[in-house]
Chain A
Amino acid sequence: MIDALIISLQLALTTTLLLLVIALPLAYVLAFKSFRGRTVLEVFVALPLVLPPTVLGYYVLLMIAPDSWLGSAWASVFDTSLAFSFSGMVLASLLYSLPFAVQPMQQAFRAVPESWLELGKTRGMSIKPMLRHIILPASKGGVLVAAALSFAHTMGEFGVVLMVGGSIPGETKVASIALFELVEMQQQEAAQLALILLAVSFIMLSVVYSINRKPLVVGS
């Protein structure tokens, strides 16, 4: 049970950190740029919100299968399979939790007052300094919400990680799958695990709601 919990925490932490990096440019582009294909990108980002996790898991499995482009490239570099591995689960989690990272950031970026962005321009700022000195400090609340939701959502994954990870004990069996397996035979352990997962979700959502009580944008 502890092993599964540790794997879940490792997966959630890795996914959250990587998602913050990946979601930042996506949120910036969706908040401030208009371009052809913008709607397609928005739909792609939001798709995991409505897609059955098993469908996403199926496509990720196809993508990382040993005979796929990505799977064979991974195997030639790391000499191991991406399917049924922790790294494969991270990839699946990144896709599965993407909207939970992008959308709060996008919303916070959009709420940055236009006059602050204009101020940045008059101070000679291009995109990078504008992000560093104005947009990100102004959107701190939105970025924290993105991190908390990504972490909580990844902790609760079931279908995707089961399909992509294969529930290998000590390697890819996460807490939510362990709970499913424990429920019939070891009800006391199942109750403990369920309580821990409930507490993690409760704490993360408490963080989100306490941030949301403050404005997503500083000073607005």
Chain B
Amino acid sequence: MNHIRITTTLGSLDLDVQADFAHEVIVISGENGAGKTTLLRCLAGLEACQGQLQIGGDVWLDSAVKFVKPTEQRNIGFVWSDAVLLPWLDAEANIMLGVKDGDAVWFSKVCEALEVSPLLKRKPAMLSTGEAQRISLARAWYIKPSLLLLDEPFSAQAPDIRLRLRQALKDLQQVLDIPVLMVSHDAEDAKVLAQQHWRMREGKLMNSVASTKVFSTDARR
């Protein structure tokens, strides 16, 4: 089980999220400014947060003992709402960014699932918004992350490809057996994908599940 306890103020947002979840797909929805993206950024370690995080048996944050696991040690797949591709690298190099020992078979599987194989030699300037978004998804999936954080990952996709991407995400989650948190405004994403559906308003989960579990200090690495 994974645990989130975050109580922190970031700018004008009071984030107060308590939730437990298994290795499943969680769709997060809510109005603009509700704190959805900020929650993902806290999980990634890209925002300084107060509270506790335990993911996949590892403690990532425990403010009580001033412990923060740096982002670079969390093995996160993060997909920004805009693709964030490096413009001087082609699509293939963007997907493989920072990976030392590539897995060619897995790479092909990911590229096929996301329908990006014909795009690999193109620079980002030569990609459409939807194609760039799929390259960014492939980049996040390729590293076999411990946690996949997706911020409106299908927003630029045409309806037909969106259907196939949902299935691909389901398959990937089952293969990797990891938690996936996905921000989406598309009700269909929640209907098809979500094993939990969190609704956020003003920094809070409107349907949060509190847990009394205490974090194991043995899990801290």
Contacts and interface: CB of A to CB of B under 8 A. Distances in A.
Q: Is the A/B pair a real complex? A: yes
Contacts of A122: 44, 46, 71-72, 74, 76-78
A138 B75 CA distance: 24
Instruction: Count chain B CB atoms within 10 A of each CB in A119, A120, A125, A219 and give the residue with the most.
Output: A119
A218 B76 contact: no
B84 interface: yes
12 contacts: A116-B84, A119-B84, A119-B86, A122-B44, A123-B98, A133-B97, A137-B86, A137-B88, A138-B86, A218-B87, A218-B88, A219-B86
A122 B44 CA distance: 8
Contacts of A138: 86, 88
A219 B73 CA distance: 28
Contacts of B88: 137-138, 218-219
Contacts of B27: none
A120 B98 contact: yes
B33 interface: no
B200 interface: no
A133 B72 CA distance: 15
Interface size class of A (residues with CB under 8 A): 10 to 19
A214 interface: no
Contacts of B84: 115-116, 118-119
Interface in A101-141: 115-116, 118-126, 129, 133-134, 137-138
A118 to B, nearest CB: 5
Interface string A42-80: 000000000000000000000000000000000000000
Query: Closest 10 interchain pairs by CB?
Result: A123-B98, A219-B87, A121-B71, A122-B78, A115-B84, A124-B72, A121-B72, A122-B76, A218-B88, A118-B46
Given A129-B98, A133-B97, A121 B86 contact: no
Given A125-B98, A219-B86, 12 more contacts: A115-B84, A119-B84, A120-B72, A121-B72, A122-B44, A122-B76, A123-B72, A123-B98, A124-B73, A125-B72, A137-B88, A219-B124
B102 interface: no
Interface in B50-75: 70-75
Contact of A124 (B80, B86, B98): B98
Nearest to B93: A133
Given A115-B80, A119-B84, A119-B97, A126 B46 contact: no
A124 B75 contact: yes
B87 A133 contact: no
B86 A134 contact: yes
Interface string A128-162: 01000110011000000000000000000000000
A142 to B, nearest CB: 14
A163 to B, nearest CB: 44
B143 interface: yes
Nearest to B80: A115
Contacts of B45: 121
